[in-house]
């Protein structure tokens, strides 16, 4: 064993988990925060911002892209990355439900 039993869960559960998993690494949070700070597409700068080697950063960017959290456009020999709102729509509606549930909860 060792592999997640994806097939036992709903599409929605898997989708939320996939996005959350992609956010589950500090380097990837740092990338997102950097994209927010500069507030526009970033061409080139990301590797220099992070305390990790270039292949490692490239790998983290790929994971964020696969999860739909960022999108990249080729621009000459650089690539422009920015945040993709679609993933956050999914998460926001999940968190909205949680917040609502908690606020009216009679529990603990």
Partner DNA sequence: ATTTTATATCGTAATATTGCAATATTAAAT
Partner DNA sequence: ATTTAATATTGCAATATTACGATATAAAAT
Which residues 43-102 are close enough to bind its own copies by CB under 8 A? 51-52, 71, 73, 80, 82-83, 85, 88, 91-92, 95, 97-99, 101-102
**Residue whose CB is less far from its own copies, 40 or 77:** 40
As a three-state string, the secondary structure of 32-59 is HHHHHHHCCCEECCHHHHCCCCHHHHHH
Residue pointed to by tokens 């500090």: 26
Q: How far is CA 80 from CA 38, 71, 75, 89, in A?
A: 12, 8, 6, 22
Task: Give contact residues for its own copies (rule: CB under 8 A).
Answer: 4-6, 8-10, 13-14, 16-18, 20-30, 32-33, 36, 39-41, 51-52, 71, 73, 80, 82-83, 85, 88, 91-92, 95, 97-99, 101-102, 104-108
């Amino acid at each position: 064993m060792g592999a997640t039993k994806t097939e036992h869960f709903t599409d929605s559960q898997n989708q939320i988990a996939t996005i959350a998993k992609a956010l589950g690494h500090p380097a990837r949070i740092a990338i997102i925060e950097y994209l927010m700070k500069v507030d526009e597409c970033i061409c080139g700068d990301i590797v220099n911002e992070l305390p990790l080697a270039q292949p490692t950063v490239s790998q983290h960017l790929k994971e964020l892209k696969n999860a739909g959290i960022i999108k990249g456009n080729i621009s000459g020999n650089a690539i422009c990355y920015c945040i993709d709102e679609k993933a956050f729509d999914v998460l926001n509606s999940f968190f909205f439900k949680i917040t609502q549930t908690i606020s009216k909860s009679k529990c603990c």
